[in-house]
Chains A and B, each alone.
Chain A
């Protein structure tokens, strides 16, 4: 039968990936997933700070996927992991993924990144207008690439819309994932206060 059907990814549960540009709301979505009841794949090496007071929910090994560190994905079926959009291409093709791709107004992303760079005592060699153009180009390339990946399904979520009313998004995300998540707990995470503070203070 296997010969008849050819190659087919192993019937592991899809790995749930939260993705997007840095500062597009990926950490907030990770917290929503955790509150909803999903297991999070994180090493907690990057701890909460003024840029992400609720934590980053990151995994150092994600940065090492391009160097072949992908064994950890074998145990990630049905769990959620954060992978920024620039690293999605390094996800191994033998697994299937359900990707929640966060989108946010680009000016807000850039402003938030500048504040984060400042907090990290880093400086940018390239001005934001140029980086904005590059991020837009990156998104215009990654989206059609995602459509062509047979092992990846994507749901795009607007951070700005979700901050206004998270309940309908929480329900849609649950339907997309096909998992019995706690929608009401998820919907409590997006914080207008946090959003306002970020807009005013960083």
Chain B
């Protein structure tokens, strides 16, 4: 555990944390490999909801939110 922490510390130190105001765990891929993970394969929620999407949209329109 201690040696893993040391290695992570070295990776982050090499990436220079000065420009990260509010660092979060989401920055780990960027800090470790220099780029954010590819999210393009993740379907947007409206595509993943399936058959009920139209019912939801009708409800939201009726309420004035779409």
Contacts and interface: CB of A to CB of B under 8 A. Distances in A.
B partners with A: yes
Interface of A: 4-8, 11, 14, 22-23, 46, 63, 84, 86-89, 113, 116-117, 120, 122-126, 130-131, 133-135, 137-138, 141-142, 145, 148-151, 153, 178
B interface: dominant SS: helix
B35 A7 contact: yes
Interface of B: 15, 19, 21-22, 24, 26-27, 29-30, 34-37, 39, 42, 44-46, 48-50, 52, 55-60, 62-66
Given A122-B62, A145-B42, A134 B55 contact: yes
A15 B52 CA distance: 30
A150 B37 contact: yes
Contacts of A89: 44-46
Contacts of B34: 4-6
10 contacts: A46-B64, A84-B60, A86-B46, A117-B62, A120-B63, A122-B62, A145-B45, A150-B26, A150-B36, A150-B37
A137 B49 contact: yes
